[in-house]
Amino acid sequence: MMLMVNDTIREDYRIILDWIKDGSSVLDLGCHEGELLSLIVKKKNAKAQGIEIDEQAIYKCVELGLSVSHQDIDNGLSEYGDGSFDYVILNQSIQQVKKPDVVLKESLRVGKEVIIGFPNFAHFRARFQIFFRGKTPVTPSLPYEWYETPNLHFLSISDFMDYCQKQDIRIQRRAFFCNDRMTGMTNILPNLLAHTGLFLISK
Amino acid sequence: MSSTIAVEYPGKVKSCESIGIVGTKYFTFAHSPYELTLDSGEKLGPVTLAYETYGKLNDHRSNAILILHALSGDAHAAGFHEGDEKPGWWDEMIGPGKAFDTDTYFVICSNVLGGCRGSTGPSSIDPVTGKPYGVDFPTITIKDMVKAQRHLIDHLGIEKILCVMGGSMGGMQALQWAASYPERVRSVIPIATTLKHSPQQIAFNEVGRLAIMADPDWQGGRYYGRTVPSKGLAVARMIGHITYMSDISMSEKFGRRFRNGKIPSKFGAEFEVEGYLHYHGDNFVRRFDANSYLYITKALDYFDLSNGKTLFEVFKGISAKFLIIAFKSDWLYPAYQSKEILKICKLAGIEATYCEINSTYGHDAFLLEIEEETHLVRHFLKKVFNGYAVDDAHGK
């Protein structure tokens, strides 16, 4: 199973767990097979719900005892009232939705805080592949060829931070990962060195 | 099956056997002067419910599951009646090691009020006249069916039901249980169902009813002891079967193939699909009462869980957990209706899981997609029964 490597939790999951307060309510948008969500329930005693579009992943979630909705997060979170959850999580899903802007705004309405993680398109390996080879980049956080990628939008860490500034979104915490690990170097030049960015944001 | 689950149950696969020989029991209540007061204000009594039970009620009386049948179903959900070759209508889901594991749970299924399979309905004898009620039988609703079942559950000494579950009309009863008796239900599994009957659903039922009433043998509903309106009832059932299937499932099952043998007349059943409908129509007439069909389809059409309140008011008092299941190709009870159940659960802060199974079987899928339903139901029930199940699922 992916989440346990020698009994250690994946680094980004560990950071997310760090950021979430005990006994919170959590909505995970694009919860896949529920690895992160079940960790949050177990370790943080959270009241958790997931939304996932893939039917086979739903069966896995139900097996883990999670409450999940087989839905498309693009079709809106309108049934949830303002601030219904302490946290809304968008981990590696924002780049796959049709309307990231709408999903983000809705997440910030429904959740008091939003945790968002995405692959950084401006990592130096990606830049190198575009600039010197003239090819669509394939990197550890963007592992797909152009013809099979589920990703619809490509954004960089700088893009996201600009967006937050323009939209008056507060970035409260951030973490950057290179090859799924946090390193000191990555923090100095994240837009160049990080494969993945993770942010805790609020309105 | 149209899709398979890439999930294994390591060390958990048990041999799935039949529950074996079972028998139908009967419970009679609402004797004068304690008749059952119906939704319409009319009184009915005495009332008999036919029911079957499988497995054992535990000492805490906490493992009871109520299975609610659809329009043409009955109390015989699992196992075999003495001498029968065919098992109950949901035998694949109920039994040792199955989704509703009778080694763990106590499963109850009763024939609905208004039915004709052992419970009081229009073909029962009216104690006042000594003759079958016929159309003098009072109008009944889904709420009345549930009210009658509550008497049975009281009789069985069960305060809190672990799970109420059903497909189609059974799903409406399950929802009604949660709305009428929220304190007595720990979980609800509505499958391929709706919060209220839509105009399209009402329209199909009306055509079925008109077919029955247009049959000269119907005789204004007073046909008991004479020829039954078999042609009308068969047509009603045929319409039903068309709505239970999908374009794809019909194409796959019949194509444009012709039947073998001589066609009796110019407009006889030439195509396989015609033969199928005739077969099921004729079969149905042997086991179902035409007046029951009229009453039960009316109960379906009247169904609107909100019942004059807002849905939020209905759901806010419910603490049960929900597992809502729909099927992609079901056009009679389309997935959007199940999503409305999900939506109101979320608004009311009810813990709900929703799965739209990618089936091609149409509405019939709820009786056919056993593998998928088993997986969902088994784990959902385990969570409700034992509390949170993460450790278990990891095999620790």
| pLDDT tens digits for range B231-263 | 999 999 999 999 999 999 999 999 999 887 777
Q: Residue A192: give the domain boundaries.
A: 4-202
Q: Is the per-residue pLDDT at B42 higher than 80?
A: yes
Domain B25-196+305-393 is found in CATH 3.40.800.20: no
Among the residue ranges B5-9, B98-102, B121-125, B187-191, the one predicted with the least confidence is B5-9
Q: Which residue of chain A has the CA closest to B382?
A: A65
At residue B153, does pLDDT exceed 80?
Answer: yes
Contact residues on chain B for A70, CB-CB shorter than 8 A:
354-356
Residue B103 a catalytic site member? no
- The answer as to CATH 3.40.50.720 being correct for domain B203-297 is no
CA distance B69 to A78: 33
Structural domains of chain A, count: 1
The predicted structure's pLDDT at residue B16:
64
B251 in catalytic set? no
pLDDT per position as a tens digit, A157-202 = 999 999 999 999 999 999 999 888 887 777 889 999 999 999 999 9
Residue A64's pLDDT is what? 96
Residue-level pLDDT at B339 = 97
- At residue A180, the pLDDT reads 80
Q: State the CATH number of the domain containing residue A13.
A: 3.40.50.150
**How confident is the model over A87-142, as pLDDT tens digits?**
999 999 999 999 999 999 999 999 999 999 999 999 989 999 999 999 999 988 89
Interface test with A, best of B379, B380, B384, B386 (most A CBs within 10 A): B379
CA dihedral A57, B346, A91, B357 (to 10 degrees): 20
Residue B267: its pLDDT value, please?
Answer: 84
Question: Which has the minimum average pLDDT: A140-154, B42-56, B159-173?
Answer: A140-154
B33 contacts: CB under 8 Å, gap ≥ 6: none
pTM metric for this prediction:
0.92
Is the pLDDT score of A2 beyond 60?
A: no
- Please count the CA atoms within 13 angstroms of the CA of B371 that sit on its side-chain side: 12
Helix runs in chain B, H state only: 142-155, 169-180, 199-214, 230-244, 247-254, 272-287, 290-302, 311-316, 335-347, 365-368, 370-386, 390-393
Contact state of A81 with B347 under an 8 Å Cβ cutoff: yes
Q: CB atoms < 10 A from the CB of A9, how many? A: 17
pLDDT > 90: percent of chain B:
89
Q: How many other CB atoms are found less than 10 A from the CB of residue B242?
A: 14
